[in-house]
Amino acid sequence: MSTSSKTLAPGVIAPAVQPSRWRRRAKGLALPVLIILLLEAVVRLGWIAAYQMPAPSEVAQTLLHLADGALWKHIGASLSRVLAGFAIGAALGLLFAAWVGLSREAEAWLEPTFASLRAIPSLAWVPLLLLWLGIGETSKVTLIAIGAFFPVYLNGVAAIRNIDRKLVEVGRMYGFSPLRLARRILLPAALPGVFTGLRSALSLSWMFLVAAELIAATRGLGYLLSDGRETSRPDLVLAAIIVLALLGKLSDGLLASLEQRWLTWRDTFDGTDTGV
């Protein structure tokens, strides 16, 4: 009896997928390209007034012009706010999620408070933050941190509480200490849920950044948005929106690739074989 003739090559399907990946990309690009071309034509033909909807080519020019000067300052300001707020909020979210998730005692003490705080729409904090912390960086970073905290906390607790009891029992069978149990079983098992939380927290961070910067800022992409509105320059507004979209996509892609790398072990449905 010999089973050694069997070979396993988990990555072997990848090359065959290569050509169809480009086709998938082309499919995804088709709609945006079509919309851009349509807009360009409609504006050039004068069907929409240029002061309301600038042609995409004009927006591109504004963007190029901005890239020569102030754009990087705005991007730098926004990016540092988002990173700081997200880091603080996510770190606290993870900490409390682990605490509440692992201890029923902590849950009894903390969960009702968090549940009621969560019920407050986060933007309602804005006036209070402005009163307490002024219009400087602190209030903006705090607002973003509040926004990032809850998705991470909620998904983290749910992820821990959804861990298969049967896997935990394997650890108990080996007499693992609580710390070792957390490191070897609970943490890796909770990782998929934690990533879901981190990604939605990141997108919320960008949302709260814009909210904070729209209200009071002298730099940043949100400032660019309100500046464009005040000076009646829709091209400026659109340019800022495009940069925000790119940054959001880029930062989410970074997390997504981390998720991809760390969670290759997941045996999940990927949308193929549905017959749809």
The residues of the shown chain that bind another protein, judged by CB under 8 A, are: 1, 3-4, 6-8, 10, 166-167, 169-170, 172-174, 180, 184-185, 188-189, 191, 263-267
CA distance 271 to 212: 38
CA distance 197 to 205: 12
Q: Which is nearer to another protein, 188 or 234 (CB)?
A: 188
Q: Which is nearer to another protein, 26 or 258 (CB)?
A: 258
Burial class (CB in 10 A: 0-12, 13-18, 19+), 257: exposed
CB 111 within 8 A of CB 49: no
Q: Which is nearer to another protein, 52 or 268 (CB)?
A: 268
Q: Which is nearer to another protein, 38 or 170 (CB)?
A: 170
User: Least distance in Å: CB of 90 to another protein?
Assistant: 21
Q: Which amino acid is at 246?
A: L
User: Least distance in Å: CB of 24 to another protein?
Assistant: 23
Q: Which is nearer to another protein, 118 or 183 (CB)?
A: 183
User: Least distance in Å: CB of 185 to another protein?
Assistant: 7
User: Least distance in Å: CB of 6 to another protein?
Assistant: 6
CB-based contacts of 221, cutoff 8 Å, min separation 6: 74, 75, 78, 209, 210, 213, 240, 243, 244, 247
User: Least distance in Å: CB of 191 to another protein?
Assistant: 8
CA distance 223 to 209: 10
CA distance 185 to 168: 7
CB-based contacts of 176, cutoff 8 Å, min separation 6: 184, 185
CB-based contacts of 180, cutoff 8 Å, min separation 6: 171
Q: Which is nearer to another protein, 7 or 231 (CB)?
A: 7
Measured torsion, CA atoms of residues 170, 176, 180, 182, in degrees rounded to the nearest 10: 50
User: Least distance in Å: CB of 184 to another protein?
Assistant: 7
CB 146 within 8 A of CB 125: yes
Pick from 197, 195, 207: which is nearest to 78 by CA? 207
User: Least distance in Å: CB of 244 to another protein?
Assistant: 35
Q: Which is nearer to another protein, 49 or 179 (CB)?
A: 179
